Amino acid sequence: MQDNLPKKSADLTHLDSQGQAQMVDVSAKASTIRQAVAAAQVRMLPATLAAIQAGNTPKGDVLATARLAGIMAAKQTSTLIPLCHPLPLQKVAVEITPDFQLPGYQIQATVKTKAETGVEMEALTAVSVAALTLYDMAKALEKSMQIESIRLISKTGGKSGDYLLTET
């Protein structure tokens, strides 16, 4: 498992010799299986959670729409994030689970590919857009919902090795 220490500026590959942003050339790298898991949460009032769970919302099926939005977002990451490579995604799964203790929802995305570069940004984009869509679909019930704790949980594959979030 890789440590969580920040890289030195000399190790940053998205800058050219003049310090200008550049897209990294990955053409010489081997295609390997890579997977990333990201998570987020949406905190809300218990009444909002209950209404969503009961399917009693003005805009329709909140969770199905948010799940689909997350999947679609992962597929569009390279058009949203500068310098991200377009990747052939073999798997995008978005799970949205009620958390009555929060109260709200836990969102998790798993993205997998066989490519020259990783899918961390795709997984993070998926949970971010799923959370935003959940908010949009339920904002008529509550505008004070909070999107929280967007984070990479794990990644496998690639030269930098595996990563697993260690809670601090």
In sequence order, the β-bridge partners of residue 36 are 111, 155
Q: Is 148 left (phi over 0), alpha (psi -120 to 50) or beta?
A: beta
Map residue 41 onto helix, strand or coil: strand
Which tokens belong to 145?
């919902």
Cβ-based neighbour number of residue 53 at 10 Å: 14
For 143, which DSSP code?
S
Instruction: Please count the other Cβ atoms lying within 10 Å of the Cβ belonging to residue 4.
Output: 10
In what helix (H) or strand (E) does residue 54 lie, and over which residues does it extend? helix 46-54
Enumerate the β-bridge partners of residue 109: 38, 94
Residue 136 bears catalytic tag: yes
Residue type, 105: Y
Catalytic residue among 61, 99, 136, 162: 136
Asked if residue 63 lies in contact with residue 135, where contact means CB atoms within 8 angstroms, the answer is no
The catalytic site residues sit at 136
